[in-house]
Each structure stands twice: as C-alpha cells, then as structure tokens.
Amino acid sequence: MSERRAGITALGRYVPERVVTNADLEKMVATSDEWIRTRTGISQRRYVEPGTPTSELARKAAQEALDRRGISAAELDLIIVATVTPDTIFPATACVLQDKLKATKAWGFDISAACSGFLYALTMGAQFIQNGKHQKVLVVGADVMTSILNFEDRTTCVLFGDGAGAVILEPREDGTGLLDFTHEVDGSGACFLYMPAGGSAMPATHETVDKKLHYVHQQGQHVFKYAVRKFAEVSQTLMERNGVTPADVDLFVAHQANLRIIDAAKERLGFPEEKVVKNIHLYGNTTAGTIPLALGTALDQKRLKKGDLVLLAAVGAGFTVGTALVRWSGVA
C-alpha cells in the first residue's frame, strides 16, 4: 500500500443558464467580437440573474458532486470555499453553504486567493486528508464576477463570467491523489488587479460608489506579463522537483484567464495541444471556478482516466500563484 493521499473522488459544476456573447457586449461597451476573440479567446460567458449569491452557485456545484459520489452532505468533515465574491464580507460563504447543504458536522472557511483560489483550497483541504484528521473534504471554487464588474469599463467587463466547480477529497492509498504542489505570493503586485473599496482600507461611502471603486480594477498588460512568466516557471519547478517531464504529464489544466496566456505556457513548457484543456471560449474567466470547470470539460471530452498525471496551474490577483501535480483517482 502506498502513502495516504487526498484523491479527487467526485466533481460537480454549475454555470448559470444565461449566455452572454461578445455580440451582446458590443451593445453595452465600445468593443467588438473580433477584439475579444483575438485578444482573449473568449466567445461567450455565463451570467447569473442579478442578485444571485455565490453560495447558490457553490451549492449547485457541491450538490452535484455529492450526488455523483452518492454521499450525503452530513458526511462532510470540512468545507473550503475559494471566492473573491463572497455572499457577504462576513460570515464566510462556507458557513452559508454549510447551512444550505445541511452539512451538519462540517466546519469551514473561505479562501481569498482570486484566480489561484481553487488550488489554494485544494492543497489546503488535502492536508486534512493526508494527516488523517478528515475523511471527506468539500472544496469549492465559485465566483459571481458580474457582481463586481464595471459594465462601463471595456478593459475588464468582457473578460469575466460567473461559475462554480466543486470536488470531494477523500483518502486514497493506491498511489493516486495530490502528489505535490507549490504556492507563491507576491504582494507587491496587489495594485495591478484589485477591488479598491469596500474593505477596511476604504470603507464604502457615497464617494466610493460614485467613483466606481467597488469593481474590478486591472492593469491588464502587467498582469498578462506576470502570468505568462509565472505559469511556465512554477510548472517547471514542480515537474523538476518530482522528476517529471512534459512527456509524463497526461493533461495540463491551467486557469482560464486568457487563451494567449494558456498558449504561451503551453509553448514554454513544451506541451502538445492535445494535452491542454481549454474552455475559456465558453465561460470566460470565472476566477475560482475555472480549474474545476476545466476538469469537467476534460471529463466530458473523455480525456481523464484513473492513473493519469495531471498538472494544474493558476496565477491570480495578489499576486497569488499555485500549481498541483495530481495522479487522477477517477471520479464519480
């Protein structure tokens, strides 16, 4: 028997029904389908009905994962929700979700790591499985980005969508599960992608609302350059540390922020196209949702089977960085 590891044993997803195409956005801001597609790879994204909280998307994704696994929420030990659009600043969305799911014995908390949030939550949850303290951990990445988008700012509003994904982690002793991970933070990059107001540094006032400071603010080019460099650098580090080459990796699942960033990482790392998962054209950047949604796309396309070696990578606001090397356990 091999070492006890955290395996992903079920996956659930939820994206809202409402499809918003680039043509729809052309009616709202000075943009074009051609600009959005060529600069980002995005063709459409999903939007919630206004007022839908992140916990609702999280609940639907989580319930699907539970149903697929055939277990009740009451069996969960821990719930971790990665999000930058919590229902409220406090309490944590994990608490709201615990109540909605009736996960009666679970504790939980939120992780704020933006686009790296799901990977932070995954590696965090895995620790409790590996050390034997927990048997079933629910990890959710969910964001309602439309709640913090300025639809007068064409440089940001075209990039994001709403969505959620959830996985269940359980112990595996068959060589599968989370093998290794890396995380980094570079807080000096905070000013390049952030929401200026609404926290203790700048509490909400009429002025902050008038100045539209409760929305995503981004210096796109700076984020772009950092992401291109980091995706390759940290993925390389993780592979080298584990004696793995791109030839050994079956699937590369990167955070879906921009097709050009994914392609640059693919080329720098030397992955052939067939090993790279892409669904950004359908959903845009769903922040904490992208990695589980991309895993779902890979499953739909029958590109993931038990024993496959999967490299996950994300870069996000903070800056935050995450990678994970997973020997796929096979999901329900």
Ligand X SMILES: CC(C)(COP(=O)(O)OP(=O)(O)OC[C@H]1O[C@@H](n2cnc3c(N)ncnc32)[C@H](O)[C@@H]1OP(=O)(O)O)[C@@H](O)C(=O)NCCC(=O)NCCS
Distance CA 153, CA 146 (A): 12
Q: Is 243 exposed, middle or buried (0-12, 13-18, 19+ CB in 10 A)?
A: exposed
Map the footprint of ligand X across residues 9-68, applying CB under 6 A. 31, 35-36, 39-40
Distance CA 165, CA 210 (A): 34
Residues carrying an active site annotation: 115, 255, 285
State in angstroms the smallest separation of the CB of 92 from ligand X. Answer: 23
Lay out the site mask for ligand X across 113-142 (x = CB under 6 A, - = otherwise).
--x---------------------------
Whether the upstream peptide bond of residue 118 has omega within 30° of 0, thus cis, is: no
Q: Helices (DSSP H) in the chain: which residue ranges?
A: 22-26, 33-40, 54-69, 93-101, 117-130, 154-157, 206-210, 220-241, 259-269, 280-283, 290-300
Type and span of the H or E element at 6: strand 5-14
What is the DSSP-derived secondary structure letter of residue 184?
A: E
Lay out the site mask for ligand X across 202-231 (x = CB under 6 A, - = otherwise).
------------------xx-xx--x----
Q: What angle do CA 297, 60, 18 make, to 5 degrees?
A: 70
State in angstroms the smallest separation of the CB of 53 from ligand X. Answer: 22
Number of residues that bind ligand X (CB under 6 A): 20
State in angstroms the smallest separation of the CB of 142 from ligand X. Answer: 16
Judged by CB under 6 A, which of 76, 158, 265, 277 binds ligand X? Answer: 158
Spatial contact of 67 and 59, defined as CB atoms under 8 Å apart: no
State in angstroms the smallest separation of the CB of 233 from ligand X. Answer: 15
Lay out the site mask for ligand X across 246-285 (x = CB under 6 A, - = otherwise).
-----------xx--------------------------x
Q: Is 154 in the site for ligand X (CB under 6 A)?
A: yes
Binding region for ligand X (CB under 6 A): 31, 35-36, 39-40, 115, 154-155, 158, 193, 220-221, 223-224, 227, 257-258, 285, 315-316
